[in-house]
Structure 1
């Protein structure tokens, strides 16, 4: 698993079939090559085969309904989030609708328009009633078909997030 999940807090969002510029546009991110990844509210987008992966150290925008719905319009997106307070979240959206959402440490308490949409993949990963963050990241990769780049990969773009409530 990528070292990004070893940080104290991060939100990693996987979006199929978007370019880095389109992902940033859908999130209202201001491109800022001077922004430092890891410093709030910086965000980095990595081009991967089949789409993009957005990394927000100390961020949470990818789990917000308004953001993931915009990112997933016409495609699919999944976000994995955790912070220093042990808050965790997994969100999966298809074509602008959050279909499945749960806390990785409580995967049996799912919500969304189709809470059981990912149940088969969750069972394959043995995470139906007990899970962890690494399995949530594996689920995000499985349902989007995207793979995290190497730890030393350079982002395609770096930017600054708008203020989200």
Structure 2
């Protein structure tokens, strides 16, 4: 499976992070990211962006939905999943997750199962990998142009394509254009 994710830049020009969780409800992803369930509500991406701009506090906004057998949560501008040391373990408890971060400070890819980080790396320096099985995705990294470093046009979007191909992740642009996604703040 091959999918081009470049269209995400038009929705999140200042960066974003995506967390995909296999067979986990969108509300549960938000709760595990620290968004109180009683405050979840449905909003379009445009309305959520306006809402975030109106807020005077430092809360972080997340929107979640479902794509096939995976649910996802997207955070504009930030990467709480990486800034909270326990977040990857907490969100992946009892399931499998794929994390893709594209912010102005860093791109990042991570794969975790049941609280354990399997592999993670910065797609722009893919020879430095972490996790219990840091070499698990070497072949998919080569196929996607992540390895050797600099062989693809955009290391981050090559990592997204690898994740799509390897884990069956699919995101439709229409979800972000029209649909109301479950929204929460942490």
Instruction: Tell me whether the two structures share a fold, i.e. TM-score over 0.5.
Output: yes
Q: Structure 1 5/90 Cα, relative in aligned 2: closer, same or farther at 3 Å?
A: farther
Between the aligned partners of 2:86 and 2:61, the Cα distance in structure 1 is 19
Give, in angstroms, the shift of residue 99 of structure 1: 1.2
CA root-mean-square deviation: 2.2
Scaled by the length of structure 1, the TM-score of the pair is 0.84
Would you say the 8 A contact 1:98–1:112 is kept in 2?
yes
Give, in angstroms, the shift of residue 149 of structure 1: 2.5
Question: Which is worse superposed, 108-117 or 120-129?
Answer: 120-129
Structure 2 residue aligned with 1:33: 41
Question: Which is worse superposed, 90-99 or 146-155?
Answer: 146-155
Would you say the 8 A contact 1:11–1:58 is kept in 2?
yes
Structure 2 residue aligned with 1:149: 172
Could you tell me which runs of 5 or more consecutive residues in structure 2 were left unpaired when the two chains were aligned.
53-58
Would you say the 8 A contact 2:42–2:181 is kept in 1?
no
Q: Structure 1 144/75 Cα, relative in aligned 2: closer, same or farther at 3 Å?
A: farther
Structure 1 residue aligned with 2:160: 137
Q: Structure 1 116/136 Cα, relative in aligned 2: closer, same or farther at 3 Å?
A: same
Structure 2 residue aligned with 1:89: 108
Structure 1 residue aligned with 2:183: 158
Scaled by the length of structure 2, the TM-score of the pair is 0.76
SS in 1 for 2:157: helix
Question: Which is worse superposed, 112-121 or 146-155?
Answer: 146-155
Q: Structure 1 72/155 Cα, relative in aligned 2: closer, same or farther at 3 Å?
A: farther
Could you tell me which runs of 5 or more consecutive residues in structure 1 were left unpaired when the two chains were aligned.
none
Would you say the 8 A contact 1:79–1:140 is kept in 2?
no
Normalized per residue, the structure richer in helix is 2
Matches within 5 A, 1:16-95: 16-30=22-36, 31-33=39-41, 37-38=48-49, 39=52, 41-63=60-82, 64-85=84-105, 87-95=106-114
Normalized per residue, the structure richer in strand is 1
Between the aligned partners of 1:153 and 1:61, the Cα distance in structure 2 is 25
